[in-house]
Amino acid sequence: MRSLRARTLSITGMLGVLLLLWACYPASEVTYSNPQNTVNQWLIESKPADSKLQVTLRYERRRDTGFSSHSNDFGIELDQLAGLTRDQVMSATGTNVHFQLKRDAGTFDLEGWFKQGNGSGHFTFAPSSSFNSELSRMGFDRATDEQLLSLAMADTGLAFINELKAQGYDTTTVEQLVRMANHGVRLEYLQGLKSLGYSVKSTDLVVRMKDHGVNLNFIKELAALGYNNLTPDELVRTRDHGVSARYISEFMAAGYDRAPLDQWVTMRDHGVSTEFVTELKTLGYDRLPPEDLRRLKDHGVSASFIKEIRELGYSDTSIEQLVRLKDHGVSAAYIKRMKERGYADLTLDEYIRLRDRGERE
């Protein structure tokens, strides 16, 4: 408990330092086009166990309808931040910093403060006219400065666009590029999908996959169980319904055969877990068919319900009868009460009929 409290205090203290750094360093309202309508801020954290710096870039744009906010988090090697040194990052007393992050779509010029591995400040962004010209050469419409900022924040550059073209994606507009950038579709994701045998080719589908949490590890783990060449819709549905490789593996370890994904989705939707299977096994119901497991769950027949019925001397009760008992409101408590009233040594069916005739507890 003391160790947990210490770690909690340590984490809370670190967050406090980061927030203080961000709050104390003035948020400068500067931008590429209008110094009055955008607030650009950066936050960088150095974690001992990670060779990369964890960067957050955030900007708020004031519009007639209010503020719109955009944020991007990523890891980056120190040598990619021109003008920033390890000594500055780890300064014990704190130091002012000024450095740059260059991306295909433009360059970030960052100023601020670093102390003991944590820094914050503001940035300006210089859009790249040469990148815009390259977009035109590749058949895209001309990007606005704000679109270039979005592309640069996500590091959506020429390598990303070339990968899209090589894989035959239907991406033809800058707006589609920005949408993928804003939804977390990165070069590594495109390349990873290709290496796993997936040829998505659709901007909308790849964004949907990313939005629904279909990451590369999720696909790899399913493939390891023999679920290959799934459609994007199948991957999304499986993910949305909470079916993971671990869920399937636990059932296979419990003696169930590999089944179509739709069966696992249905079982998950009905609340069937391996914990439920294990509880049933201890009561003598071993490796019930999936349809029986779903039926028990649907009708509210729990392991405790079965156990209480067994303790009254009714063993080896069929699935059908357990469901009928639950549906008709016959519980162990009801049977005990009826026994106290003189209705002893009845069969379960007789207790059901008794309940149906209106005999209450």
Close Cβ partners of 342 (under 8 Å, ≥ 6 residues apart): none
Closest C-alpha to 248, from 227, 276, 279: 227
Q: What type of residue sits at position 203? A: T
15-24, 92-101, 132-141, 280-289, range with the lowest pLDDT: 15-24
Q: Which of 51, 32, 37 has its CA nearest to residue 89?
A: 51
The first and second tokens of residue 217, run together, are 């590890």
Asked if pLDDT for residue 257 goes beyond 80, the answer is yes
Query: Alpha-carbon dihedral of residues 243, 244, 249, 255, nearest 10 degrees?
Result: 0
- 241 within 8 A of 268, measured Cβ to Cβ: yes
Least confident segment among 62-76, 129-143, 320-334: 62-76
* Average pLDDT for 246-272: 97
Provide the pLDDT confidence category of residue 96 given band limits of 50, 70 and 90.
very high
Examine the pLDDT at 89 and tell me if it is beyond 70: yes
Whether the CB-CB separation of 244 and 267 falls below 8 Å is answered with no
Q: What average pLDDT score do residues 156-175 get? A: 97
Q: Does 20 score more than 80 pLDDT?
A: no
Query: Which residue bears the tokens 């589609």?
Result: 176
pLDDT averaged over every residue in the chain? 90
Binned at pLDDT 50, 70 and 90, residue 361 comes out as low
Q: What is the mean pLDDT of residues 280-302?
A: 97
CA-based Rg of the chain, rounded to a whole angstrom? 30
Q: What are phi and psi of 166, to 5 degrees?
A: -65, -35
pLDDT of residue 358: 85
Spell out the long-range contacts of 195-198 with Cβ–Cβ below 8 A and sequence spacing 24 or more: 196/220, 196/223, 197/228, 197/229, 198/232
Which of 32-46, 47-61, 187-201 has the weakest average pLDDT? 32-46
Rounded CA gap, 33 and 344, in Å? 87
At 8 the pLDDT is 46
> What percentage of the chain carries pLDDT values higher than 70?
88
**pLDDT at residue 16 is higher than 70:** no
**pLDDT (mean) for 108-118:** 97
Q: Across-strand partners of 124? A: 109
Q: Would you state the pLDDT for residue 37? A: 64
What pLDDT shows up at residue 111?
Answer: 98
Who contacts 40 (Cβ-Cβ below 8 Å, separation ≥6)?
Answer: 28, 30, 31, 57, 58, 59, 122, 123, 124, 125
For the cut 90, the answer to whether the pLDDT of residue 227 exceeds it is yes
* pLDDT the model gives residue 3: 45
Cβ(31)–Cβ(37) under 8 Å? yes
